[in-house]
């Protein structure tokens, strides 16, 4: 105790003028550390620590005239532009502060939870710039919310936008609503192929189809829009994997459409075999489309295949089987009548094979319709369904 009081007296001689707040802090800290015992006159054992008794931050006096600006950088897992429960903050993202003349004022780095803050700012206009981490893109600005839970950096496919708009701070204003959402784009793809043996599965010896348009539709603000279009081709310059396609899209809800002429080709039955050899074309969203599917930041969907076979190949097989004909001068379909029936087995349309374009087969690409190939001089050939998704022989 004597030693402590002696040190206190020396401190008093140094302090001119007396800083009463500092004096009170030192006295209380000293008495608490001694933990005097009223019975023995001795101190109890005190656990020591390397931490300071007090920190300069504890003694900071906040200037109410100065403003601050922050707040969060996070991974927008579902791509909706809103901070949702469970979406993580992104650490070690560099954030820069500029004034209205775009003069750099300060640089911060987000903490482990993704937060940042600029303090002691004068009244004025400021702009915040975020350095995009590798592999990330800025998310969309939400139309359904504003304020503390949206992103203030707008997604753009044509421009590299990394900054907020100018933000005005009044005296003493604490603006903790400046956020930036980012996502990792999602790879989509697989291949489109000819199902030569019509077993609804991509076999090793079956060729892909190059030059086919694959349209990617996205549910954007509750409206389906065409987001992208890619074309099938070889997977790379050094491979012979024909029919491959790929794209990288933001998180969200999508479906694909394959631009295959329906007058000459039909979809194989979907979801036969495993996810790498099956076809995903179900016509759920129109002709030659897939079901809608949802992807999140960091996902990948590289199993979106599409198998087709030629209606002409079906006609050829039926014609040879029933007539033993091997006429190679004419198209097999040209030698037949094509009849279209509805789910009640009523004939709804017919045309010569050579005039098949008149049928406008696209209007019949719906569940329940089927077609029959009928050689003019022969009994009817077993029906082949045009939908639900394949042409298969009637039992």
What's the CATH architecture for 67-183? Sandwich (2.60)
Residue-wise pLDDT tens digits, 333-376: 566 677 777 767 788 888 776 776 676 665 665 555 666 666 55
Residue-wise pLDDT tens digits, 326-338: 454 555 556 667 7
> Looking at per-residue confidence, does 191 or 320 come out higher?
191
- β-sheet bridge partners, residue 163: 129
Q: Tell me whether domains 67-183 and 186-309 share a fold.
A: yes
Reference 277, options 186, 193, 388; nearest CA is 193
**Tally of CA atoms within 13 A in the half-sphere of 376 that contains its CB:** 9
Domain extents for the chain? 2-59, 67-183, 186-309, 318-385
Q: What angle (nearest 5°) sits at the alpha carbon of residue 239, between those of residues 236 and 241? A: 90
What integer pLDDT is reported at residue 56 of this predicted model? 42
| pTM for this prediction | 0.64
Share of the chain above pLDDT 90, in %: 43
The Cα–Cα gap between 253 and 218 comes to 6
pLDDT surpassing 90 at residue 168: yes
Average pLDDT value for the chain? 76
CATH number of 186-309: 2.60.40.10
Instruction: Write out the DSSP string of 205-260.
Output: TPPB-TT-EEEEEEEETTEEEEEEEEE-B-SSTT---TTEEEEEE-SEEEEEEE--
The Cα–Cα gap between 92 and 297 comes to 19
Reference 263, options 331, 182, 193, 344; nearest CA is 331
Residue-wise pLDDT tens digits, 7-39: 555 555 444 454 544 455 445 455 544 544 444
């Amino acid at each position: 105790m004597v030693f402590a009081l002696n040190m206190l007296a020396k401190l008093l001689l140094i302090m001119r003028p007396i800083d009463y707040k500092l004096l009170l802090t030192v006295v209380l800290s000293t008495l608490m550390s001694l933990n005097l015992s009223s019975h023995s006159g001795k101190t109890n054992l005190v656990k020591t620590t390397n931490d300071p008794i007090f920190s300069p931050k504890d003694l900071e006096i906040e200037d109410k005239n100065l403003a601050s600006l922050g707040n969060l950088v996070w991974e927008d897992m579902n791509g909706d532009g809103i901070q949702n429960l469970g979406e993580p903050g992104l650490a070690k993202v560099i954030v820069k502060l500029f004034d209205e003349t775009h003069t750099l004022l300060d640089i911060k780095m987000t903490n482990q939870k993704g937060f940042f803050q600029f303090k002691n700012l004068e009244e004025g206009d400021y702009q915040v710039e975020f350095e995009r981490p590798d592999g990330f893109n800025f998310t969309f600005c939400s139309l359904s919310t504003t304020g503390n839970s949206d992103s203030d950096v707008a997604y753009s496919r044509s421009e590299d936008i990394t900054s907020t708009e100018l933000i005005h701070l009044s005296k003493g204003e604490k603006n903790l609503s400046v956020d930036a959402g980012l996502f990792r784009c999602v790879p989509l793809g697989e291949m489109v192929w000819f199902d030569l043996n019509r077993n609804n599965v991509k076999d090793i010896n079956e060729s892909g189809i190059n030059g086919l348009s694959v349209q990617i539709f996205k549910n954007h603000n509750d409206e389906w829009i065409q987001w992208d279009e890619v074309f099938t081709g070889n997977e790379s310059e050094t491979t012979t994997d024909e029919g491959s396609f790929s794209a990288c899209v933001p998180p969200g809800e999508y479906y694909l459409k394959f631009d295959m002429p329906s007058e000459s080709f039909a979809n194989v039955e979907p979801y036969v075999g495993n996810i790498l050899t099956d076809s995903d074309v179900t016509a759920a969203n129109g002709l030659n489309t897939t079901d809608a599917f949802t992807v999140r930041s960091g996902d990948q969907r590289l199993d979106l295949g599409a198998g087709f076979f030629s209606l002409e190949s079906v006609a050829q097989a039926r014609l040879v089987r029933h007539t033993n004909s091997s006429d190679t001068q004419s198209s097999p379909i040209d030698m037949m009548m094509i009849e279209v029936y509805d789910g009640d087995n009523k004939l709804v349309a017919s045309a010569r094979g050579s005039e098949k374009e008149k049928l406008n087969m696209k209007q019949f690409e719906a569940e329940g319709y089927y077609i029959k190939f009928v050689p003019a001089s022969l009994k009817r050939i077993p029906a082949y369904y045009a939908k639900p998704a394949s042409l298969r022989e009637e039992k």
